[in-house]
Chains A and B, each alone.
Chain A
Amino acid sequence: MQKKGLELMVGLFVLAGLLALAALALRIGNLGGVSVSDGYTVTARFDNIGGLKVRSPVKLGGVLIGRVTDIGLDEDDFRALVTMRLAREYNQLPADSSVAVNTAGLLGEQYLNMEPGGDDEVLKDGDEITITQSALVLEDLIGKFMFNKADEEADK
């Protein structure tokens, strides 16, 4: 009887561990979300990627469809070369889709926003997205604004 009680307690303990793992994976984390590990890879070139990072999300219409896997510099034209991996379930994206570096909220983290095109061809593994839009750099905007203001003052 003593022994059975002990085994029962150990069993409950291990069960609690498994339940905790399940809760961590499904309730607290987002394992149930989109998996990009078996997806396909496309690249895009940007003049300026701002604060984009590896693992930043790629979204289409606000839905997470992939993640940035690598950021490098193309030594030929000195533009940022961004590699992203898109989930396999979204493999019907038109080949002339465009991507832009967007910011979540005013000061939030930056992500890639994809706008679907109208092409019949679909994006395949290794393709490059040619239509890109760089990040808005807040400092540049403020600089331009100040410059314009100064011009207006001078015109008067």
Chain B
Amino acid sequence: MTPIVSGQPGRLRAAILEEMRDELLLVMLIAVAVACFSFARPTFFSVSNLLSIGQQSSIVAIVALGMTGVIVARGIDISVGGTMAATGIIAAIVLQATGSGVLAILAAIGSGAAFGGLNALLVAGLGISPFIATLGTMALTKGAALSLSGAASIPVSDPFMLWLGQGSLAGVPAGFLLAVALCGVWLCFLRYTSHGRSFFAVGGNPVAARASLISVVGIRSLTYVLAGMSAGTATVIAIGRLGSAQPLAGNGLEFAAITAAVVGGASLSGGKGSPFGTLLGAIAVGTITAGLAFLQFSQQIVYMVSGGLILVAVLLRGDLSWSALVRTASPGAVSLTSRGDETCLLDVAGLTKQFSGIKVLNDVSFRLRGGEVVALLGENGAGKSTLVKCISGVYVPDGGRVQFGALPKEAFAEDGADIAVIHQHFSLVPDLTIAESLSLGNEPQSFGLLKRSSMRSKAKAALSEVGLTRDVDVPVRLLTVGERQMLEVAKALLSSARLIVMDEPTSALSNRERDRLYTIVRKLAGEGRCVLYISHKMEEVRELAGRAIVLRDGRMVGDVPMQEADDRALVHMMVGRSLENVFPWVEAPLGPVAIEVKGLRTSGLVADVSFSVRRGEVVGLAGLMGSGRTDILRCIAGLDPYASGEIRLHGDRMSTGAQGFASSKGVAFVPEDRRLEGLVGGMNVRDNLALVWMRRGSKFGLVSLATLRRNAAALIRQLDIRPPDPGKPAGTLSGGNQQKVVIGKWLAVNPSIILLDEPTSGVDVGAKSEIHSVIGKLKSEGAAILLVSSELPELLGVSDRVVVVSGGRSVGEMPRGTSEEAVMELAFSTTPKSSSNRSEVCR
């Protein structure tokens, strides 16, 4: 946290202090260590001894600098020790063969780059976990060193080769000077070049980095190659110090390098780290090691101290998620008192839940009885999922109570959980078989051994009930999405839960599967259980439910028997809201067509979509969740591929997945999940605003920091980002201000086509209208804007035209001024043709 100090210089100083905190702590640590050792042995504090420590630390420091790059980009390289040994031997062999010290040094660095390239191929290219991949390379390089040298050290006497390890400039050892110089090079690289700055973005949030047109694979590869080259450079100093190339050189070096980087402030979860800190870290580790040796502690103690050091550093930095442990609520948080009237199964009273100040649920009260099917209706974002999570104990409510009433125990054989939730996101373990996953958590066993036969027969019975004809020994990951959905249902059947929540259970089902599900739901109700059924499809709700609970904006607006309300009344209840929102709409001159989409189809949700957007207009895409709205935007941005159809940007055809082309045509994409795809949360506002700009605005890859600051200040003013502090980590801003940063990131490159996916979700009222006025301003400046929003009044208020999408098809287009009901009816429409096609697509 940056302390807020009035007056610019004071705040600047505080910010610098804050930024340098780790480094200052390290300097103090080094000073304290030197003081302690000098106190114990006065001879420790001599210039020659300190210089020698510096020289010793330089090998670790140079390797650790390369390691810092890798760690910043969220990787790890434990092959550096092996690489150092192998490159040393290669350099010595080249020296023997050619007699040229220059060639030998080049060979060391070049072969280091090659080994780094191997890591890059394995990790960035093939996607192998960096840890295991570099473990393999470590074995290979250590083996190569032994093999090439015949397990014997190779003496080196070339003075040029030896100078770095033995020579000095003005009394300071050359190796140490090199380490300091390289530290400076790394500092400049990470600060002033677009590639270097990309390291932090890739490590902080690879998804957002990709969405900001940064080549994640390229940057990751670069980090490994640089780490290999660093090891190759360090080897030259090591050879100089010993006067020979050792096949066993670099033993434990990877550990020392990781320690130095982590102690110096690099975060193992990526996105953080500084070369200067790493240099100090290497010196600190070197000082402590040398000091312990000086006090004649044995090597053993030194090992243990360095082992402890890294653990302490990792724990103290606190960037690991272990604090989340405290916050995780156990499923037992819901009170399970057994009182109340006999038929009442669940009693929810005055339930309130808020996230960062926004009330997602506001005083919700209802009761559920055994033997009934209740529909839970509401628009996207009305609070349905939050309600389910509060009931099932995933969230702890901020107010009100959730209570399971008493039902005769004997009605249910086992005393299991009271509630089973069939999730939209699957809760099945992919690598287990069907039989195993159905029993997980409640496995039958005798004498400590699993009763596989009873697991199988139980699973078979459940499968036949839901109509799945699958071998129960097939792993879950091989099932289709629809089959998994039915398996989830089977799992709920097997449980003894009295309340079963189904969240959009038919979205992935074929018609046949859906009919089977209806039968099961009725059967469950017949057994005296209660089914809470969440769906957007009116026909389903009519078919199954006896009663509907309607939520809107987190409030309960209706609890009506189905026969008393027709569809129109229910829709009205869901969307009808007070007229408190006034949307600023400005007239703008229409320009030429900027986006033209014809017959777009993807392998996912989008089946057949056509529309166009002209410059100077806002087109809204309306549709239910899962209708394919987001997919359309992602196709236009080039983030996802499409199967057939055509997209034209400013008249030019765009091929599938051409992210680069889209961006060259001025496409900006503001994603739905800004934390996941929009921002690099750990990075400050200024750098986030420059994510896209820095590559276009840079000359020869060099970024002008002055321009970067000026741009950031201008954007913060233009968008009124609060607090107006460019140094604040973007992840700590409020939702609305985070969204402004994501929009600002694109405004920095003057986009002509802007795709907005739910730009105001989770944003408070004030920031919302500010975002709306930004949209209006961009429109009048001639941008073509495509807007997706689940909030219909917003969509209707901001857009010039609305295109309605249902089941992956564009089913209609409406002019400005159309009513919510008209749009909703179109969006809810499921003509037989489209629904059958839909299930085909999903299967």
Instruction: Indicate, yes or no, whether A interacts with B.
Output: no
Binding site for A on B (CB under 8 A): none
